[in-house]
Amino acid sequence: MYDYDLLVVGSANADLVIGVERRPAAGETVLGSDLAVHPGGKGANQAVAAARLGARTALLARVGDDAHGRLLLDAQRAAGVDTTGVLAGGAPTGVALITVDPSGDNSIVVSPGANGRLTPADVRAASGLLHASKVVSAQLEIPLETVVEVVRNLAPGGRFVLNPSPPRPLPAEVLAVCDPLIVNEHEAKVILGEAGDTAADPEDWARLLLAKGPRSVVVTLGAEGALVASADGGVRRVAPVKVDAVDTTGAGDSFTAALAWRLGAGASLAQAAAYAARVGAVSVTRRGAQESFPTAEEVDAL
């Protein structure tokens, strides 16, 4: 028996958001709205999304011993996430500085802070947490060598889900255990390199990615739905869920969390992706990231 349905290993950031009429040019100052501070980071977002759906969820991350770190911990605990794996200290909490213009377009500068200090040694020290988790999900807002250590410490029979964001080339050791590797168009092309430039359509991306070694692949296509691919199931389309989108912030994180949880519960890749698409659809009808993530009852109502 596993103590957790999902362990998320990843980043936790404080999102500092200012609305602006336009972004400043070099050397220019512009006035903006009042500062809004929200809990964020891909790892923290995924943990909250899964817990809100009802998954027994834990987070392995590092924050600073500061006010932003306390904000992030409070948000995790309020959602029902087990935070025994969240380490504090070593650097200030990671921060994302976000400006948003009237059209909704944003510009983001991230200071990784404590996220960059989540080390392979931290993963080894938390091996008991990894072995107690049915599924482990990670992203790339923490050091790549830390993600490598995660795959080396998975529970026997445990499942590993990776969203390689921000994207970078991945070692074969990591690709070989991804089940699935979850990418959007940009991430797919970065990982494929030159091969991605010649691929004609998303189905080709999925097949080329699968040939690199993952056990399965999911390509998210925004309003066009998603693709799932595996060696035994071929490539299949997952239909989009039509909603009136208000804010797409965090939608990809909610999709990944929901998919990882449903896979651990025994759903097929296509079934899990279809459920995750509904979760993502609910989240984009609300503003914000973590505050937009739905409960299982809200997903069922959709």
Q: Give whole-number Cα distances, 121 to 65, 98, 136, 212, in Å.
A: 19, 32, 17, 28
Measured CA to CA, the distance from residue 218 to residue 201 in angstroms comes to 14
Choosing from 15, 82, 122, 253, the catalytic residue is 253
Structure tokens at 192: 């494929």
Measured CA to CA, the distance from residue 30 to residue 20 in angstroms comes to 8
Structure tokens at 9: 């290993």
Contact predicate 183/167, CB 8 Å = yes
Count other Cβ atoms within 10 Å, centred on residue 186.
Answer: 12
Contacts of 156 (CB under 8 A, 6+ apart): none
Measured CA to CA, the distance from residue 130 to residue 150 in angstroms comes to 8
Q: Strand, helix or coil at 202? A: helix
Count other Cβ atoms within 10 Å, centred on residue 155.
Answer: 18
Active site residue 65: no
Question: Catalytic site residues?
Answer: 253
